[in-house]
């Protein structure tokens, strides 16, 4: 594992990035970490994010991570939205990808790109959001893996046709739970102990339910 791509540096991605880099640094793993986000931090994001300046999230997070962990890790901020035009430069064969975005169009784009690679691991996490009378206390994490040109798991969209729909507002505590579940999946893969493709999280029920897809 030489390169990790983190797409989305907001409510979930920021928590993933900081704790992931702390772990990698503690193990002295010289990993190239790419943080990608075209969006800027705004005051209205304060309830879920710990940035302090109105600037691009990838640049803010990149500086923070480089200052704390740059003696071991290589941190590369990319202040761009993911598009069909830049996917090839962002996600490469052999990469491990954390996908932490709040819109299904980007999930679908990244999922489709990864499906064409020979070797890639994609860990995608998100909240279903606060909408239609729901309170945003639930979320999910999916793990997609390809090796030697073969699919070892299902794609993101196979069991989730809702990735065609727009995202919704999110809750801080669910962001934290989903970020933790994404890092748990990463650790399981690192230790060759992961035995599930998807996890459902509900913070009010205090439940984390793994699923093995067929």
**Residues 85-143: pLDDT tens digits?**
999 999 999 999 999 998 888 999 999 999 999 999 999 998 865 554 556 788 899 99
Q: In angstroms, rounded to a whole number, what is the distance separating the alpha carbons of residues 72 and 28?
A: 6
The residue whose two tokens read 């793990």 is 143
More confident residue, 153 or 159: 153
Q: Examine the pLDDT at 214 and tell me if it is beyond 70.
A: no
Element (H, E) at 85: none
Q: Report which DSSP code applies to 137.
A: -
Burial class of 44 by CB neighbour count within 10 A (0 to 12, 13 to 18, 19+): exposed
The residues facing 122 across adjacent strands are 97, 144
What the block records as the tokens of 31 is: 């990993």
Residues 90 and 78: beta-carbon distance below 8 Å = yes
What pTM was computed for the model?
A: 0.89
Region 205-214 average pLDDT = 82
More confident residue, 196 or 143: 143
The residues facing 199 across adjacent strands are 141, 210
Within 13 Å and on the Cβ side, how many CA atoms surround 205?
11
Q: Report which DSSP code applies to 123.
A: E
The per-residue pLDDT for 45 is 58
Q: Which domains does the chain have, with CATH numbers?
A: 3-211 (3.40.50.720)
Closest CA to 107 of 131, 95, 124: 124
Please state, as a whole number, how many other Cβ atoms lie within 10 Å of the Cβ of residue 73.
21
The per-residue pLDDT for 168 is 55
Q: In angstroms, rounded to a whole number, what is the distance separating the alpha carbons of residues 214 and 212?
A: 7
Q: In angstroms, rounded to a whole number, what is the distance separating the alpha carbons of residues 162 and 206?
A: 24
């Amino acid at each position: 594992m030489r390169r990790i791509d983190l797409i989305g540096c907001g409510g979930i991605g920021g928590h993933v990035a900081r704790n992931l880099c702390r772990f990698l640094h503690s193990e002295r793993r010289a990993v190239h970490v790419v943080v990608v986000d075209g969006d800027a931090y705004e005051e209205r994001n304060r309830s879920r994010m710990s940035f302090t300046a109105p600037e691009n999230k990838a640049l803010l997070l990149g500086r923070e991570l480089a200052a704390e962990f740059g003696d071991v890790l290589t941190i590369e901020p990319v202040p761009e939205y993911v598009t069909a035009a830049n996917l090839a430069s962002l996600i490469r064969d052999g990469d491990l990808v954390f996908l932490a975005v709040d819109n299904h169009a980007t999930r679908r784009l990244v999922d489709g790109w990864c499906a064409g690679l020979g070797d890639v691991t994609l860990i995608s996490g998100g909240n279903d959001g606060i909408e239609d009378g729901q309170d945003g206390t639930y979320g999910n994490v999916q793990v997609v893996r390809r090796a030697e040109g073969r699919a070892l798991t299902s794609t993101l969209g196979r069991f989730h046709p809702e990735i065609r729909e727009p995202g919704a507002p999110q809750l801080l505590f669910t962001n934290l739970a989903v970020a933790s579940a994404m890092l748990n999946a990463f650790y399981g893969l690192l230790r060759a102990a992961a035995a599930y493709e998807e996890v459902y999280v509900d913070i009010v029920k205090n439940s984390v339910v793994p699923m093995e897809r067929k």
